[in-house]
Amino acid sequence: MQMARLLRLARTGTRTGDDAVDENGNRFELKSTTKGDVGTGRDVGEVYFARMERRYLVCAMGTNTQFGFTIQRLWFLAPSALEPWIRSRRDGLRKDRELVNRLLAAAPGTLTGDEEKRLRYLVDRGSTLNNPKISRSYIERHGTLLSDADVATQLRQLVAAHPIPQPASVDEAGEPPASDTRK
């Protein structure tokens, strides 16, 4: 809430999906940390990575005080700045998929069709990748420190300098069609 106010962003009010949006509909993931590394989420997989490629990340580093969280530094990362981090995590998931494929090929007929679908879904969803951290050093190397007196204006300048290409088609929520619609 504090970050959204400071950056003049509207909170979405949902637990999943975007944390905030600006007046132009740009989407933001807002993260805060007192330890330096930033947690991402539970069961991070392809759907999460695809979302991160369509939103900006703002990380607040600070401390907890008797009055609540106090922001000491704010960092902005465009999707292009997150690309190396996403690629390395995707590589890990690719290895998990290859393992599943080898196991299924080595033991054909051991699983029912539904069991095989479930196994592939669990790996694709990212159940093998739980809350991977974005390190402080990665954020400091690839991000931009929001240091102007008016960080909200600086944020908008950075967003304008790093536009996110829009997909050809989107659903009612503004999301491109999911590559895997299994739930």
Instruction: Read off the pLDDT of residues 75-96 as tens digits, 9 standing for 90 and up.
Output: 999 999 999 999 998 888 888 8
Burial environment of residue 44 by CB neighbours within 10 A (0 to 12, 13 to 18, 19 or more) = buried
Round to whole Å and give the CA distance between 159 and 84. 19
Q: What is the pLDDT of residue 10?
A: 94
- The pLDDT > 90 percentage for the chain reads 46
Read off the pTM.
0.79
Mean pLDDT of the chain: 85
Determine the average pLDDT of the residues in 9-30: 89
Angle (CA) 142 56 38, round 5°: 60
Tell me the two tokens of residue 143: 């991000």
Do 52 and 89 form a contact (C-beta atoms < 8 A)? no
Determine the average pLDDT of the residues in 113-126: 80
**Does pLDDT of 167 surpass 70?**
no
Tell me the two tokens of residue 109: 């007929």
Q: What is the pLDDT of residue 4?
A: 93
**Does pLDDT of 133 surpass 70?**
yes
For residues 162 and 178, which has the higher predicted lDDT (pLDDT)?
A: 162
- What is the Cβ-side half-sphere exposure of residue 172, based on CA atoms within 13 angstroms? 0
Structural domains present in the chain: 2-161 (3.40.210.10)
Q: What is the pLDDT of residue 71?
A: 92
**Does pLDDT of 60 surpass 70?**
yes
Helix or strand (DSSP H, E) at 156: helix 151-161
Q: What is the pLDDT of residue 175?
A: 56
Secondary-structure percent of the chain, ordered helix, strand, coil, rounded to 5: 40, 20, 40
